[in-house]
Amino acid sequence: MTPAEDTAVHASKGTIRVLQLYPRDMNIYGDWGNALVLRQRLLWHGYTPELLEYNVGDDFPEDVDLIVGGGGQDSGQIVIQDDLQSRGEQLREMAEDGTPMLVICGLYQLFGKFFKTKSGPVIPGIGILDVETVGTDERLIGNVTLTSPEFGEIMGYENHSGQTSLGPGVEPLGTVSKGAGNNSKDNHEGARHRNVVASYLHGSLLPKNPAIADFLIRTAVERKYGTFVPGTPDDGYARRARENAARRPR
């Protein structure tokens, strides 16, 4: 079914514009799947999704309701750094205004203050999140499970050299029971500020963690239309993906 046919069979309660940040350079270990999950769950909830992309040098789209951004190699982060700085003020304003955002790994790091890479260069962040990241020789790789006060048990996969420390301006997304998360020391994974959810977890994250997807959707809809009227998503796929993920070793 094409997206147009897919939406035609649903009576739309409204349109939600989902923007992927830098999918060309920042999109590894399946992060694109996050946008696809938002698209499908918006349809199940009875809303019309519009998926938009923003890459280096593009015009920034108008009227964005929800933002997702993925991870990348250090080299990808270097490619986007100047463009990201040029969009920093706009993204900071949107985040402070309450726009829901999900940023994974490489963009999580660059939504913070800086990422000092292992090979030397310091990539400046845009400071939406009060976090700092320093690359180390110890790469943190493998499956992760954490518990979050808001979203319950979260599962995903990490692969990063950067180790992130949280400042007082953010809360961790949750506490890790399997894997590392932000760093190899404090058992924290991810960060929360306003309606920004930041996490190291790929896999992608949202297919296995629909509670986070629905938080982003509900927040976007409430900001735009006042109230969110949920539909009846098919959570069978997510349930099976979670059962599989839970059985995996670190």
CB atoms within 10 A of CB 164: 26
Our finding on whether 105 is near ligand GLN (CB under 6 A) is yes
Q: Does 160 bind ligand GLN (CB under 6 A)?
A: yes
Minimum CB separation of residue 101 from ligand GLN in Å reads: 16
Residues 143, 145, 49, CA angle at the centre, nearest 5°? 90
Which helix (H) or strand (E) element contains residue 218?
helix 210-225
Helices (H) and strands (E) in the chain, counts: 8, 12
Q: How long is the chain?
A: 250
Q: Does 193 bind ligand GLN (CB under 6 A)?
A: no
244 part of the interface to ligand GLN, by CB under 6 A: no
Angle at the Cα of 59 (from 53 to 61), degrees rounded to 5?
A: 55
- DSSP-assigned letter for residue 181: S
By CB under 6 A, residue 112 contacts ligand GLN: no
Is residue 212 within 8 A of residue 153, CB to CB? The reply is: no
Is 192 annotated as a binding-site member? no
Catalytic-labelled residue, pool 10, 45, 105, 193: 105
User: Applying CB under 6 A, which of residues 25, 65, 74, 189 lies at the interface with ligand GLN?
Assistant: 74
Nearer of residues 41 and 188 to ligand GLN, judged by Cβ: 188
Residue 184 binds ligand GLN (CB under 6 A)? no
Q: Kindly state the smallest distance separating residue 79's Cβ from ligand GLN, in Å.
A: 12
Q: Which is nearer to ligand GLN, 49 or 156 (CB)?
A: 156
| Of the candidate residues 69, 162, 179, 233, the single one contacting ligand GLN (CB under 6 A) | 162
In the complex, least distance from residue 115 CB atom to ligand GLN, rounded to whole angstroms? 7
Among 159, 165, 175, 187, binds ligand GLN (CB under 6 A): 159
For residue 208, with 0-12 CB atoms within 10 Å meaning exposed, 13-18 middle and 19 or more buried, which class applies?
buried
The answer to whether 71 and 33 are in contact (CB under 8 A) is no
Among the listed residues 160, 188, 193, 202, the single catalytic one is: 202
Binding piece for ligand GLN, criterion CB under 6 A, among 68-76, 92-100, 175-183, 212-220: 68-76
Q: Is 45 noted as a catalytic residue in this protein?
A: no
71 binds ligand GLN (CB under 6 A): yes
19: helix, coil or strand? strand
Residue 229 in contact with residue 53, Cβ under 8 Å?
no
Of all residues in the chain, what percent are helix, strand and coil, respectively (each to 5)? 30, 30, 35
Q: Does 72 participate in binding ligand GLN (rule CB under 6 A)?
A: yes
Considering the rule CB under 6 A, would residue 182 count as an interface residue with ligand GLN? no
Q: Which residues contact 121 (CB under 8 A, 6 or more apart)?
A: 74, 78
Token pair, residue 210, equals 């629909």
Residues taking part in catalysis: 105, 202
Q: Write out the residues near ligand GLN by the rule CB under 6 A.
A: 28, 71-74, 77, 105-106, 159-162
